[in-house]
Structure 1
Amino acid sequence: MVAQDSSGAVSTRVLTLPNLLSALRLVGVPVFLWAVLSGHDALAIVLLAVSGATDYLDGRIARAWGQESRLGQLLDPVADRLYIASTLFGLAVRDVIPWWVVGVLLAREAFMGVVVLVAKRHGWLGLPVHLTGKAATFNLLYAFPLLLLADGDSPVARVAEPIGWGFAWWGIVLYWLAGLLYAAQLRRLLAHERTVLA
Protein backbone atom coordinates (compact mmCIF):
# COMPACT_ATOMS: atom_id res chain seq x y z
CA MET A 1 0.00 0.00 0.00
CA VAL A 2 1.52 3.31 -1.05
CA ALA A 3 1.73 5.78 1.82
CA GLN A 4 -0.20 8.90 0.96
CA ASP A 5 -1.53 11.94 2.74
CA SER A 6 -4.90 13.50 2.07
CA SER A 7 -3.54 15.37 -0.97
CA GLY A 8 -2.45 12.12 -2.62
CA ALA A 9 1.30 12.80 -2.20
CA VAL A 10 3.62 10.39 -0.43
CA SER A 11 3.73 11.30 3.26
CA THR A 12 7.14 11.90 4.87
CA ARG A 13 5.79 12.21 8.43
CA VAL A 14 7.91 10.59 11.12
CA LEU A 15 6.18 11.25 14.45
CA THR A 16 3.05 9.14 14.17
CA LEU A 17 1.57 6.46 16.42
CA PRO A 18 1.95 3.69 13.80
CA ASN A 19 5.64 4.57 13.38
CA LEU A 20 6.08 4.50 17.16
CA LEU A 21 4.53 1.02 17.31
CA SER A 22 6.83 -0.21 14.54
CA ALA A 23 9.87 1.29 16.31
CA LEU A 24 8.88 -0.44 19.57
CA ARG A 25 8.67 -3.74 17.71
CA LEU A 26 12.21 -3.19 16.41
CA VAL A 27 13.50 -2.44 19.92
CA GLY A 28 11.91 -5.67 21.14
CA VAL A 29 13.80 -7.89 18.66
CA PRO A 30 17.09 -8.26 20.63
CA VAL A 31 15.16 -8.70 23.88
CA PHE A 32 13.09 -11.43 22.27
CA LEU A 33 16.17 -13.20 20.88
CA TRP A 34 17.84 -13.13 24.30
CA ALA A 35 14.66 -14.53 25.89
CA VAL A 36 14.46 -17.43 23.42
CA LEU A 37 18.13 -18.36 23.62
CA SER A 38 18.25 -18.12 27.42
CA GLY A 39 15.12 -20.23 27.93
CA HIS A 40 12.85 -17.42 29.18
CA ASP A 41 9.96 -18.83 27.15
CA ALA A 42 7.18 -16.92 28.92
CA LEU A 43 8.83 -13.57 28.12
CA ALA A 44 9.52 -14.68 24.54
CA ILE A 45 5.87 -15.67 24.02
CA VAL A 46 4.63 -12.38 25.49
CA LEU A 47 6.97 -10.41 23.20
CA LEU A 48 5.79 -12.36 20.16
CA ALA A 49 2.16 -11.75 21.12
CA VAL A 50 2.82 -8.02 21.58
CA SER A 51 4.66 -7.93 18.25
CA GLY A 52 1.75 -9.59 16.47
CA ALA A 53 -0.77 -7.23 18.08
CA THR A 54 1.22 -4.08 17.26
CA ASP A 55 1.83 -5.34 13.71
CA TYR A 56 -1.95 -5.50 13.29
CA LEU A 57 -2.62 -2.20 15.06
CA ASP A 58 -0.06 -0.03 13.28
CA GLY A 59 -1.62 -0.74 9.89
CA ARG A 60 -5.19 -0.29 11.16
CA ILE A 61 -4.36 2.98 12.89
CA ALA A 62 -2.42 4.29 9.91
CA ARG A 63 -5.35 3.69 7.56
CA ALA A 64 -8.07 4.82 9.97
CA TRP A 65 -6.31 8.03 11.08
CA GLY A 66 -4.67 8.93 7.77
CA GLN A 67 -1.18 8.39 9.20
CA GLU A 68 0.31 6.27 6.43
CA SER A 69 3.89 7.34 5.82
CA ARG A 70 6.96 6.37 3.83
CA LEU A 71 8.83 5.66 7.08
CA GLY A 72 6.04 3.32 8.20
CA GLN A 73 6.09 1.66 4.80
CA LEU A 74 9.77 0.85 5.39
CA LEU A 75 9.73 0.15 9.16
CA ASP A 76 6.82 -2.31 9.18
CA PRO A 77 8.30 -4.96 6.86
CA VAL A 78 11.77 -4.53 8.43
CA ALA A 79 10.32 -5.23 11.89
CA ASP A 80 8.39 -8.24 10.53
CA ARG A 81 11.48 -9.71 8.90
CA LEU A 82 13.70 -9.16 11.91
CA TYR A 83 11.20 -10.88 14.22
CA ILE A 84 10.83 -13.79 11.83
CA ALA A 85 14.61 -14.14 11.32
CA SER A 86 15.42 -13.91 15.04
CA THR A 87 12.65 -16.39 15.87
CA LEU A 88 13.82 -18.84 13.23
CA PHE A 89 17.40 -18.64 14.47
CA GLY A 90 16.44 -18.98 18.14
CA LEU A 91 14.05 -21.89 17.62
CA ALA A 92 16.44 -23.73 15.30
CA VAL A 93 19.33 -23.37 17.76
CA ARG A 94 17.08 -24.90 20.43
CA ASP A 95 16.00 -27.71 18.03
CA VAL A 96 12.36 -26.63 18.25
CA ILE A 97 12.20 -26.37 14.44
CA PRO A 98 14.41 -28.07 11.83
CA TRP A 99 17.01 -26.02 9.97
CA TRP A 100 15.30 -26.67 6.61
CA VAL A 101 12.46 -24.39 7.73
CA VAL A 102 15.05 -21.66 8.29
CA GLY A 103 16.49 -22.31 4.83
CA VAL A 104 13.11 -22.16 3.06
CA LEU A 105 12.14 -18.87 4.71
CA LEU A 106 15.58 -17.27 4.32
CA ALA A 107 15.54 -18.26 0.63
CA ARG A 108 12.31 -16.29 0.31
CA GLU A 109 14.00 -13.32 1.99
CA ALA A 110 16.88 -13.53 -0.50
CA PHE A 111 14.34 -13.64 -3.34
CA MET A 112 12.58 -10.55 -1.95
CA GLY A 113 15.95 -8.83 -1.56
CA VAL A 114 16.46 -9.11 -5.32
CA VAL A 115 12.93 -7.81 -5.97
CA VAL A 116 13.50 -4.80 -3.68
CA LEU A 117 16.90 -4.03 -5.26
CA VAL A 118 15.39 -4.03 -8.76
CA ALA A 119 12.55 -1.80 -7.53
CA LYS A 120 15.02 0.67 -5.99
CA ARG A 121 17.07 0.81 -9.18
CA HIS A 122 13.93 2.07 -10.90
CA GLY A 123 13.16 4.63 -8.20
CA TRP A 124 10.54 2.72 -6.18
CA LEU A 125 11.32 2.70 -2.46
CA GLY A 126 8.61 0.23 -1.60
CA LEU A 127 5.92 -1.88 -3.21
CA PRO A 128 2.32 -1.75 -1.98
CA VAL A 129 1.71 -4.27 0.81
CA HIS A 130 -0.31 -7.35 -0.17
CA LEU A 131 -2.88 -8.87 2.16
CA THR A 132 -1.20 -12.21 1.38
CA GLY A 133 2.07 -10.96 2.87
CA LYS A 134 0.35 -9.74 6.02
CA ALA A 135 -1.53 -13.05 6.32
CA ALA A 136 1.77 -14.94 5.99
CA THR A 137 3.34 -12.85 8.75
CA PHE A 138 0.33 -13.37 11.04
CA ASN A 139 0.45 -17.14 10.48
CA LEU A 140 4.16 -17.29 11.27
CA LEU A 141 3.81 -15.05 14.33
CA TYR A 142 1.05 -17.37 15.61
CA ALA A 143 3.08 -20.47 14.75
CA PHE A 144 6.26 -19.51 16.59
CA PRO A 145 4.86 -19.08 20.11
CA LEU A 146 2.83 -22.27 19.69
CA LEU A 147 5.93 -24.18 18.60
CA LEU A 148 7.77 -22.72 21.58
CA LEU A 149 4.98 -23.98 23.83
CA ALA A 150 5.27 -27.37 22.11
CA ASP A 151 8.87 -27.74 23.31
CA GLY A 152 8.26 -30.29 26.06
CA ASP A 153 6.11 -33.27 27.09
CA SER A 154 3.27 -31.49 28.88
CA PRO A 155 -0.39 -31.78 27.77
CA VAL A 156 -0.16 -28.15 26.59
CA ALA A 157 2.86 -29.03 24.44
CA ARG A 158 1.02 -31.95 22.83
CA VAL A 159 -1.93 -29.70 21.90
CA ALA A 160 0.25 -26.78 20.79
CA GLU A 161 2.46 -28.82 18.44
CA PRO A 162 -0.03 -29.72 15.65
CA ILE A 163 -1.69 -26.30 15.80
CA GLY A 164 1.70 -24.57 15.66
CA TRP A 165 2.81 -26.62 12.67
CA GLY A 166 -0.51 -25.92 10.95
CA PHE A 167 0.11 -22.19 11.24
CA ALA A 168 3.75 -22.70 10.22
CA TRP A 169 2.87 -24.53 6.99
CA TRP A 170 0.27 -21.93 6.04
CA GLY A 171 2.76 -19.20 6.85
CA ILE A 172 5.51 -20.75 4.71
CA VAL A 173 3.22 -21.22 1.70
CA LEU A 174 1.71 -17.73 1.98
CA TYR A 175 5.15 -16.17 2.55
CA TRP A 176 6.39 -17.55 -0.75
CA LEU A 177 3.12 -16.74 -2.51
CA ALA A 178 3.40 -13.14 -1.33
CA GLY A 179 6.96 -12.99 -2.66
CA LEU A 180 5.79 -14.19 -6.08
CA LEU A 181 2.97 -11.63 -6.04
CA TYR A 182 5.48 -8.85 -5.30
CA ALA A 183 7.64 -10.05 -8.19
CA ALA A 184 4.62 -10.07 -10.51
CA GLN A 185 3.69 -6.58 -9.33
CA LEU A 186 7.22 -5.34 -10.05
CA ARG A 187 7.10 -6.92 -13.49
CA ARG A 188 3.89 -5.03 -14.28
CA LEU A 189 5.46 -1.76 -13.08
CA LEU A 190 8.53 -2.34 -15.24
CA ALA A 191 6.35 -3.15 -18.27
CA HIS A 192 4.36 0.05 -17.70
CA GLU A 193 7.58 2.05 -17.40
CA ARG A 194 8.88 0.62 -20.68
CA THR A 195 5.56 1.44 -22.38
CA VAL A 196 5.69 5.06 -21.12
CA LEU A 197 9.31 5.50 -22.24
CA ALA A 198 8.74 3.89 -25.65
Structure 2
Amino acid sequence: MNSLLRQLRAAPNLLTLLRLLAVPFLVEAILAQHEEIALLIFVVAGATDAVDGRLARRLNQTTRLGQYLDPIADKLMLSTLFLTVTWVGLVPKYVTVLVFARDIGILCISILLFFSGTMRDFRPSAIGKLNTLVQIFTMLLVLLTAVKTTATLSELRHWLLVGIAWLAPLSAAQYAWMVFHRIATDPLESLA
Protein backbone atom coordinates (compact mmCIF):
# COMPACT_ATOMS: atom_id res chain seq x y z
CA MET A 1 0.00 0.00 0.00
CA ASN A 2 2.85 2.36 0.87
CA SER A 3 4.45 1.65 -2.51
CA LEU A 4 1.18 2.48 -4.30
CA LEU A 5 0.88 5.80 -2.47
CA ARG A 6 4.49 6.64 -3.31
CA GLN A 7 3.81 5.83 -6.97
CA LEU A 8 0.64 7.95 -6.94
CA ARG A 9 2.59 10.94 -5.60
CA ALA A 10 5.17 10.77 -8.38
CA ALA A 11 4.85 13.95 -10.47
CA PRO A 12 4.39 12.13 -13.80
CA ASN A 13 1.58 10.02 -12.36
CA LEU A 14 -0.10 13.11 -10.95
CA LEU A 15 -0.09 14.59 -14.47
CA THR A 16 -1.61 11.37 -15.81
CA LEU A 17 -4.30 11.47 -13.10
CA LEU A 18 -4.99 15.08 -14.05
CA ARG A 19 -5.55 13.91 -17.63
CA LEU A 20 -7.97 11.24 -16.39
CA LEU A 21 -9.85 13.79 -14.30
CA ALA A 22 -10.12 16.11 -17.32
CA VAL A 23 -12.20 13.60 -19.31
CA PRO A 24 -15.63 14.38 -17.76
CA PHE A 25 -14.98 18.12 -18.04
CA LEU A 26 -14.08 17.69 -21.70
CA VAL A 27 -17.31 15.78 -22.31
CA GLU A 28 -19.38 18.40 -20.48
CA ALA A 29 -17.78 21.24 -22.45
CA ILE A 30 -18.57 19.54 -25.76
CA LEU A 31 -22.14 18.64 -24.79
CA ALA A 32 -22.74 22.20 -23.55
CA GLN A 33 -21.34 23.53 -26.85
CA HIS A 34 -18.44 25.30 -25.15
CA GLU A 35 -16.05 24.39 -27.92
CA GLU A 36 -13.33 26.84 -26.85
CA ILE A 37 -13.21 25.28 -23.38
CA ALA A 38 -13.21 21.77 -24.86
CA LEU A 39 -10.33 22.70 -27.14
CA LEU A 40 -8.39 24.19 -24.22
CA ILE A 41 -8.94 21.08 -22.06
CA PHE A 42 -7.81 18.82 -24.90
CA VAL A 43 -4.68 20.87 -25.56
CA VAL A 44 -3.75 20.97 -21.86
CA ALA A 45 -4.39 17.21 -21.58
CA GLY A 46 -2.17 16.66 -24.62
CA ALA A 47 0.55 18.78 -23.04
CA THR A 48 0.46 16.69 -19.86
CA ASP A 49 0.75 13.56 -22.01
CA ALA A 50 3.79 14.98 -23.77
CA VAL A 51 5.43 15.95 -20.49
CA ASP A 52 4.72 13.03 -18.13
CA GLY A 53 6.96 10.46 -19.85
CA ARG A 54 9.89 12.85 -20.17
CA LEU A 55 9.42 13.96 -16.59
CA ALA A 56 9.37 10.36 -15.36
CA ARG A 57 12.71 9.68 -17.03
CA ARG A 58 14.30 12.98 -16.02
CA LEU A 59 13.24 12.68 -12.35
CA ASN A 60 13.85 8.93 -12.31
CA GLN A 61 10.19 8.45 -11.36
CA THR A 62 9.22 5.75 -13.83
CA THR A 63 6.74 3.54 -11.99
CA ARG A 64 4.84 0.38 -12.76
CA LEU A 65 1.60 2.26 -12.02
CA GLY A 66 2.54 4.91 -14.58
CA GLN A 67 3.26 2.27 -17.22
CA TYR A 68 -0.34 1.09 -16.91
CA LEU A 69 -2.02 4.39 -16.09
CA ASP A 70 -0.61 6.43 -19.00
CA PRO A 71 -1.99 4.31 -21.86
CA ILE A 72 -5.29 3.90 -20.01
CA ALA A 73 -5.61 7.68 -19.67
CA ASP A 74 -4.74 8.16 -23.35
CA LYS A 75 -7.21 5.55 -24.57
CA LEU A 76 -9.97 6.77 -22.23
CA MET A 77 -9.49 10.36 -23.40
CA LEU A 78 -9.53 9.47 -27.11
CA SER A 79 -12.35 6.93 -26.89
CA THR A 80 -14.57 9.22 -24.85
CA LEU A 81 -13.81 12.10 -27.17
CA PHE A 82 -14.72 10.03 -30.24
CA LEU A 83 -18.03 9.01 -28.67
CA THR A 84 -18.85 12.55 -27.61
CA VAL A 85 -18.02 14.30 -30.89
CA THR A 86 -19.93 11.61 -32.75
CA TRP A 87 -22.93 12.12 -30.46
CA VAL A 88 -23.01 15.86 -31.24
CA GLY A 89 -22.53 15.24 -34.96
CA LEU A 90 -18.96 16.44 -35.46
CA VAL A 91 -17.65 13.04 -36.61
CA PRO A 92 -19.44 10.44 -38.77
CA LYS A 93 -20.60 7.34 -36.89
CA TYR A 94 -18.77 4.93 -39.19
CA VAL A 95 -15.39 6.41 -38.17
CA THR A 96 -16.11 5.91 -34.47
CA VAL A 97 -17.39 2.39 -35.12
CA LEU A 98 -14.13 1.54 -36.94
CA VAL A 99 -12.03 3.04 -34.14
CA PHE A 100 -13.90 1.05 -31.49
CA ALA A 101 -13.89 -2.16 -33.53
CA ARG A 102 -10.11 -1.92 -33.81
CA ASP A 103 -9.65 -1.20 -30.11
CA ILE A 104 -12.00 -3.99 -29.04
CA GLY A 105 -10.24 -6.42 -31.37
CA ILE A 106 -6.83 -5.51 -29.97
CA LEU A 107 -8.19 -5.71 -26.43
CA CYS A 108 -9.57 -9.21 -27.09
CA ILE A 109 -6.24 -10.35 -28.56
CA SER A 110 -4.38 -8.86 -25.57
CA ILE A 111 -6.65 -10.59 -23.06
CA LEU A 112 -6.33 -13.89 -24.90
CA LEU A 113 -2.55 -13.60 -24.97
CA PHE A 114 -2.37 -12.55 -21.34
CA PHE A 115 -4.50 -15.38 -20.00
CA SER A 116 -2.94 -18.00 -22.26
CA GLY A 117 0.56 -16.83 -21.31
CA THR A 118 1.38 -17.05 -25.01
CA MET A 119 3.03 -13.72 -25.64
CA ARG A 120 4.04 -11.13 -23.12
CA ASP A 121 5.58 -8.55 -25.45
CA PHE A 122 2.70 -6.78 -27.19
CA ARG A 123 4.05 -3.43 -28.31
CA PRO A 124 2.31 -1.00 -30.64
CA SER A 125 3.16 -1.40 -34.31
CA ALA A 126 4.26 1.43 -36.59
CA ILE A 127 0.80 1.51 -38.20
CA GLY A 128 -0.79 1.44 -34.74
CA LYS A 129 1.30 4.42 -33.64
CA LEU A 130 0.46 6.27 -36.86
CA ASN A 131 -3.23 5.49 -36.32
CA THR A 132 -3.12 6.94 -32.81
CA LEU A 133 -1.24 10.03 -33.99
CA VAL A 134 -3.79 10.62 -36.77
CA GLN A 135 -6.62 10.17 -34.25
CA ILE A 136 -5.08 12.78 -31.93
CA PHE A 137 -4.55 15.32 -34.72
CA THR A 138 -8.04 14.63 -36.06
CA MET A 139 -9.65 15.25 -32.67
CA LEU A 140 -7.62 18.45 -32.32
CA LEU A 141 -8.82 19.55 -35.74
CA VAL A 142 -12.43 18.54 -35.03
CA LEU A 143 -12.42 20.70 -31.91
CA LEU A 144 -10.61 23.52 -33.70
CA THR A 145 -13.11 23.55 -36.57
CA ALA A 146 -15.94 23.55 -34.04
CA VAL A 147 -14.48 26.80 -32.70
CA LYS A 148 -13.68 28.38 -36.07
CA THR A 149 -14.04 26.68 -39.39
CA THR A 150 -12.46 27.45 -42.72
CA ALA A 151 -12.69 25.59 -45.99
CA THR A 152 -9.08 24.45 -45.64
CA LEU A 153 -9.54 23.16 -42.08
CA SER A 154 -12.77 21.39 -43.03
CA GLU A 155 -11.07 19.72 -45.99
CA LEU A 156 -8.13 18.63 -43.84
CA ARG A 157 -10.52 17.28 -41.18
CA HIS A 158 -12.35 15.30 -43.86
CA TRP A 159 -9.15 13.68 -45.14
CA LEU A 160 -7.94 12.89 -41.63
CA LEU A 161 -11.26 11.14 -40.93
CA VAL A 162 -10.83 9.17 -44.16
CA GLY A 163 -7.31 8.31 -43.00
CA ILE A 164 -8.64 6.95 -39.72
CA ALA A 165 -11.25 4.92 -41.60
CA TRP A 166 -8.40 3.22 -43.48
CA LEU A 167 -5.79 3.07 -40.72
CA ALA A 168 -8.02 1.60 -37.98
CA PRO A 169 -8.84 -1.69 -39.77
CA LEU A 170 -5.35 -1.85 -41.33
CA SER A 171 -3.78 -1.48 -37.89
CA ALA A 172 -6.07 -4.15 -36.40
CA ALA A 173 -5.20 -6.54 -39.22
CA GLN A 174 -1.50 -5.87 -38.73
CA TYR A 175 -1.73 -6.61 -34.98
CA ALA A 176 -3.56 -9.86 -35.67
CA TRP A 177 -1.05 -10.86 -38.35
CA MET A 178 1.93 -10.06 -36.09
CA VAL A 179 0.54 -12.13 -33.25
CA PHE A 180 -0.44 -15.13 -35.36
CA HIS A 181 2.80 -15.00 -37.35
CA ARG A 182 4.93 -14.84 -34.23
CA ILE A 183 3.07 -17.70 -32.55
CA ALA A 184 3.18 -19.84 -35.72
CA THR A 185 6.88 -19.27 -36.45
CA ASP A 186 8.24 -19.69 -32.96
CA PRO A 187 5.72 -21.10 -30.47
CA LEU A 188 8.42 -21.78 -27.84
CA GLU A 189 9.65 -18.17 -27.87
CA SER A 190 6.11 -16.86 -27.56
CA LEU A 191 5.70 -18.90 -24.38
CA ALA A 192 8.70 -17.20 -22.73
Could you state the TM-score of these two structures normalised by the residue count of structure 1?
0.74
Q: Report deviation, 1:177.
A: 4.5
Partner residue of 1:164 out of 154, 157, 172: 157
Q: How far apart are the structure 2 equivalents of 1:130 and 1:13? A: 28
List per-residue Cα deviations over 1:92-136 (Å, max 9, x = no partner).
111111111111101011101112201220457773344544443
- Higher alpha-carbon deviation: 101-110 or 163-172: 163-172
**Equivalent residue number for residue 116 of structure 1:** 110
1:45 aligns with 2:48: no
Aligned residues between the structures: 184
List per-residue Cα deviations over 1:46-80 (Å, max 9, x = no partner).
11112222222223333455443332222122112
Aligned CA distance change for structure 1 residues 16 and 195 (closer, same or farther; 3 Å): same
Q: CA RMSD in A?
A: 3.1
Q: How far apart are the structure 2 equivalents of 1:60 and 1:104? A: 31
Partner residue of 1:139 out of 134, 140, 155: 134
Amino acid in the other structure paired with 2:156: I
Partner residue of 1:20 out of 14, 36, 44: 14
Is 2:114–2:120's contact at 8 Å kept on the other side of the alignment?
Answer: yes
Q: How far apart are the structure 2 equivalents of 1:65 and 1:189? A: 38
Q: How far apart are the structure 2 equivalents of 1:62 and 1:167? A: 32
**Equivalent residue number for residue 94 of structure 2:** 100
Q: How far apart are the structure 2 equivalents of 1:178 and 1:17? A: 33
Bigger proportion of residues as helix: 2
Q: Report deviation, 1:183.
A: 3.7
**Equivalent residue number for residue 91 of structure 1:** 85
Amino acid in the other structure paired with 1:30: P
Could you state the TM-score of these two structures normalised by the residue count of structure 2?
0.76
Q: Report deviation, 1:45.
A: 0.5
Structure 2 unaligned spans of 5+: 1-5
Counting aligned pairs with the same residue, the percent is 28
- Higher alpha-carbon deviation: 157-166 or 35-44: 157-166
Q: Report deviation, 1:35.
A: 0.7
Partner residue of 1:33 out of 27, 37, 41: 27
**Equivalent residue number for residue 63 of structure 2:** 69
Q: How far apart are the structure 2 equivalents of 1:196 and 1:158? A: 50
Is 2:19–2:73's contact at 8 Å kept on the other side of the alignment?
Answer: yes
Aligned CA distance change for structure 1 residues 66 and 177 (closer, same or farther; 3 Å): farther
Q: Report deviation, 1:192.
A: 4.6
Q: How far apart are the structure 2 equivalents of 1:184 and 1:45? A: 37
Aligned CA distance change for structure 1 residues 66 and 175 (closer, same or farther; 3 Å): farther
Amino acid in the other structure paired with 1:146: L
Aligned CA distance change for structure 1 residues 179 and 59 (closer, same or farther; 3 Å): farther
Q: Report deviation, 1:30.
A: 0.8
**Equivalent residue number for residue 143 of structure 2:** 148
